[in-house]
């Protein structure tokens, strides 16, 4: 059994399809998706369809990202809607409605709203790793982490969490397209929706990673850790 972490997808469904084809997860593997499935890229709807289907056949944990927070809050709050539209929400709506935005909340399938509002978790942990979307206060337990850290705070330095476990996160885009790794911290957001960006899946056991882009190209490598 492998424990596989997948970074921020952001509507890049072609990259997700290519990545899953090369990783070939089995029903015995554990797949942990780190959030930000929606916005920016061209196919939010397709990404959510694929994740919902994958949950039916595989062991899947889906974390909540800040973009899922914004989308669900925009459903009921016009102020939140304006902010969300400016940071990728317009592209998400277009994937459902084409060009118009009128009554966009009603066009999104009920199973997608259920996934976004009820099917996501704020964090996940195994015996050796902690999975979050964005970041952690090292001295706080997972239950005591504020929203700011879990969903919004960018990663600028390694995190030595009080649990002693390795933190695995997304959110902080690694513009060079290669995961950032220290002995205590790994970030695997490699800009899937950017031109030239990649979607990353990391095997936590072997530290091998696979990547795919929107053109369907794939590549693989092994984590190279920097000193803390």
Rounded CA separation 18/91 (Å): 21
pLDDT of residue 100: 67
Task: Tell me whether residue 119 is in a domain.
Answer: yes
Q: How far apart are the C-alpha atoms of 164 and 82, rounded to whole Å?
A: 40
Domain total in the chain: 1
Measured distance CA(12)–CA(17) in Å, rounded: 9
**CA 33/CA 201 separation, integer angstroms:** 9
Strands 185-187 and 180-182: antiparallel
Q: Provide the pLDDT for residue 98.
A: 86
Angle at 161 between CA 159 and CA 163, to 5 degrees: 160
- CA torsion, points 11, 15, 21, 27, in degrees to nearest 10? -30
Q: Which helix (H) or strand (E) holds 81?
A: helix 78-84
- The predicted pLDDT at position 109 comes to 97
21 in a structural domain: yes
Is residue 228 situated within a structural domain?
no
Tokens of 44: 């939010």
| Structural domain harbouring 21 | 3-222
pLDDT of residue 8: 98
**Residue 107 domain-assigned (yes or no):** yes
Give the CATH number, domain containing residue 150.
3.60.21.10
pTM, rounded to two decimals:
0.97
Is the Cβ–Cβ distance between 149 and 130 less than 8 Å? Answer: no
In a domain, 24, yes or no: yes
| Residue 227 placed within a domain | no
Q: Which residues pair with 3 in a beta bridge?
A: 30
Q: How far apart are CA 33 and CA 171, in angstroms?
A: 12
- What pLDDT tens digit does each residue of the chain (228 aa) get? 999 999 999 999 999 999 999 999 999 999 999 999 999 999 999 999 999 999 999 999 999 999 999 999 999 999 999 999 999 999 999 999 987 677 899 999 999 999 999 999 999 999 999 999 999 999 999 999 999 999 999 999 999 999 999 999 999 999 999 999 999 999 999 999 999 999 999 999 999 999 999 999 999 999 999 987
């Amino acid at each position: 059994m492998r424990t596989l972490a997948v970074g921020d997808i952001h509507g890049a469904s072609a990259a997700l399809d290519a990545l899953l084809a090369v990783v070939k997860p089995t029903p015995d593997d554990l797949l942990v998706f780190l959030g930000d499935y929606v916005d920016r890229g061209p196919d939010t709807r397709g990404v959510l369809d694929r994740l919902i289907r994958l949950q039916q056949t595989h062991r899947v944990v889906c974390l909540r990202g800040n973009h899922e927070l914004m989308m669900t809050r925009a459903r009921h709050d016009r102020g939140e809607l304006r902010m969300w539209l400016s940071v990728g929400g317009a592209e998400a709506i277009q994937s459902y409605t084409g060009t118009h935005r009128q009554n966009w909340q009603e066009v999104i399938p009920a199973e997608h709203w259920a996934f976004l509002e009820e099917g996501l978790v704020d964090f996940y942990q195994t015996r050796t790793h902690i999975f979050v979307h964005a970041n952690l206060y090292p001295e706080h337990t997972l239950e005591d982490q504020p929203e700011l850290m879990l969903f919004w705070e960018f990663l600028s330095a390694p995190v030595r969490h009080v649990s002693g476990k390795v933190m695995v996160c997304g959110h902080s885009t690694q513009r060079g397209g290669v995961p950032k790794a220290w002995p205590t911290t790994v970030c695997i957001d490699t800009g899937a929706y950017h031109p030239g960006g990649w979607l990353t899946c990391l095997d936590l056991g072997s530290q091998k990673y696979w990547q795919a882009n929107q053109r369907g190209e794939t590549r693989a490598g092994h984590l190279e850790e920097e000193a803390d």
